[in-house]
Amino acid sequence: MESDWKEFCALVPILRERYLAVRNSEIARIITDSTKTETERFWDVMEVMEKETKTLRRCFDGHSRSKMWLYMITMRGEGMLKRKDLMNFSEEIQRRVFDGPFEKKG
C-alpha cells in the first residue's frame, strides 16, 4: 500500500496537467469564437471554469492514503485516469479502481 501511495502522489500532477491541457484548449476555443460577442464568450468561459473548478477540487483536494482509491475512482469517472496509468500500482488497486462496482460517466 505504501508503494501505491507513493505512485499515486507522483501521478497526481501528471493527471492534473494532462487534464488541464485538454480543458485549457477548450477554453481557448471558446474565448476565440468569433461568432459570439465578447460578453457571450466571457460568460461561456465562466460557466466552463466554474464546472472545472468543482471537478478539480473533487479530484485533487485533500488526498489521504485511506481514501486514495476513492479519489482514483473519481478521477476515472472524469476521464482523467486511464487503465494504463495504473500499470505500476498493485493488482488490488487496479481491480478496485477499474473492476469495482462504479461505472465511468457517459
Predicted pLDDT of residue 101? 58
41 touches 30 (CB < 8 A): yes
Predicted pLDDT of residue 38? 96
Q: What distance in Å separates the CA atoms of residue 43 and residue 13, rounded to the nearest whole number?
A: 28
pTM of the model as a whole: 0.82
DSSP H helices in the chain: 2-31, 38-60, 68-77, 91-98
Predicted pLDDT of residue 98? 87
Q: Please give the biggest Cα pair distance in the chain.
A: 52
Burial 84-104 (b: 16+ CB within 10 A, else e): ebbeebeeebbebbbeeeeee
pLDDT in tens, 68-93: 999 999 999 999 999 999 999 999 99
pLDDT in tens, 18-44: 999 999 999 999 999 999 999 999 999
Predicted pLDDT of residue 2? 85
